Structure formats: C-alpha cells, structure tokens
Amino acid sequence: MHNIALNRWRNQQPSYGAWINLPDIHIAETLGRLGTDWLCFDLQHGLMDYRDLTQLLPAITGLEVTALVRVAANQPDQIGKVLDAGAHGVIVPMVNSADDAARAAAACRYPPQGNRSVGPMRDALLEGLGYLASANAEVACIAMIETEEGLANVEAIAATEGVDALFVGPMDLCYGLGLAPGSFTDSAFVAAIERIKAACRAADIAAGMFGYNAEMAASSLASGFQFASIGTDISFIRAGAAQAFATARGEELTEATRGGY
C-alpha cells in the first residue's frame, strides 16, 4: 500500500484533490486520470451511500491517485467499513476535541495503535496480508475543524497521536464563528485559519482546505496549506456546461452563472 497524498504531505509537498458527490464511476475514473493527487468521496453530504462506494473505489484502483472518504460521523464502524472498502484515508467531520480526534485515529489503526477490526475486504484482495503490515503507517486520519469548539481545541487536536492532518470546512467554520457563510476575508475567519495552520506546524502534520474552485485552492496552498480541493464533480460539470452555453450564445460567463457546489 502506498498513500500518494499522505507521503506528499509528509515530504512537505503540496497536493491538489477533487471532491466526488455523485455516485458515477465514469466521472470518478475520469477525474482520477487527470493527474489529481487525491479524490474524496463524500458520504456526509454527497449523493451516495456505502453500496455506491464499493463500485466507485474500484473504478480508480490502479490509478496514481489516493482515495479518501469523508464519513458521515465520527463512528468507528463507519470509519472501519470505508477503509475495508478500499479507502486509504478518512476525513472525519465535526472533530471538536482531543478525545474526538483520538477516537477517530484509533478507528483508523489496527492494534496496538488503535482498535480497528481486521477485515480489509478490498485491500486484502489486492495485497493479501501484506496490507496489514503497512496499513497503520499508510492510512491517513484527517480531522475536520469546522466549529467554534474545534477551533478552541485545535492545538490539542493537532497534537493527538495518529492524526495526520487537519482539514478546514470553511462554510461551517464561518457559521461556528458567527459569520455569514462565505466570509472568508473577515478578520475573525482569517485569524482562525492562521491558528489552524500554526497548530499543524507545531504538531508537524498537514493542513488542508476545502477549496470551492481552483483559485481558492491555489491561494490556500500559497498561504501555507499542504493540500486543497479544487472543486467538486458537480461544480466541474456546471462550470463546463455554463461556459459552453455562454460561448455558444456569445454571452459573458459570470460567477453567478458558474455557481458553487
């Protein structure tokens, strides 16, 4: 097992990724072939379930891309199940304390480092028992910081053994700080981002950002984040179609037309 994204972070190399919300194996494979370092399949807000995941992950098997999954909640059974399906990293939402972080990390690791149960259905098929020897070092545990409580405890969360990265959910963090969604230039939001990055540097782990577009991703990496998403499958389809229609009609494409998610 070789986790491309995790090893880039450990070597202080930036990485770009994309977000998968749609349960379509052709879209996943297409994005996986475009040179992205990682794809995140979203079981929290995406339009997919676990059965879809068992088809989506094989669609990118063998490609030079790391499969991450955002689980719906910080539950050991959910984390273990997506890892058994072939994910090489888990993004865990709403991590608010060091205890939350420790629970997520333990669910990602086999004993003695954690309490993950043995049954790696997909990776055992590909690698046999060799997977068990490398999994603890190569599976990425990524904790999301997106609440006021999570921010208050960010240093302890980052320092938790077994946590490989923190990941910012910017819209939820805005809400957690009492800001309007999208207030990314507000001084309180900017200060929160700097605190998160500083906590990651102190703990020697990676910092990641959910970028809504390529510009936001590039800005995030230039400012000290190690990884960022450049958009979602839905946003790529919307932007491409909007551009095509605007070009055909001789119209100028606006940000409102291009849309968000």
Find the helix or strand (DSSP H, E) in which 204 lies. Answer: none
Residue 68: per-residue pLDDT: 97
What is the separation of C-alpha 122 from the centre of its chain, rounded to a whole number of angstroms? 20
> What is the per-residue pLDDT for 60?
95
Cβ-contact 95, 74 below 8 angstroms: yes
- Which domains are assigned to the chain? 4-233 (3.20.20.60)
Q: Half-sphere exposure (CA, 13 Å, Cβ side) for 219? A: 11
Q: Do the beta carbons of residue 29 and residue 57 sit within 8 Å? A: no
pLDDT of residue 210: 96
Is residue 45 part of the annotated active site? The answer reads yes
Predicted pLDDT at 54: 95
Residue 143: predicted pLDDT? 98
Candidate list 2, 26, 45, 88, residue with the active-site label: 45
Distance CA 210, CA 216 (A): 9
Q: What is the DSSP letter of 117?
A: P
Spell out the per-residue pLDDT of the chain, length 261, in tens: 678 888 899 888 999 999 999 999 999 999 999 989 999 999 999 999 999 999 999 999 999 999 999 999 999 999 999 999 999 999 999 999 999 999 999 999 999 999 999 998 887 777 888 899 999 999 999 999 999 999 999 999 999 999 999 999 999 999 999 999 999 999 999 999 999 999 999 999 999 999 999 999 999 999 999 999 999 999 999 999 999 998 999 988 776 555 556
Q: What's the chain's Rg over C-alpha atoms?
A: 18
User: Do residues 202 and 210 lie in contact, with contact meaning Cβ atoms separated by under 8 Å?
Assistant: no
Running DSSP on this structure, what letter comes out for residue 64? S
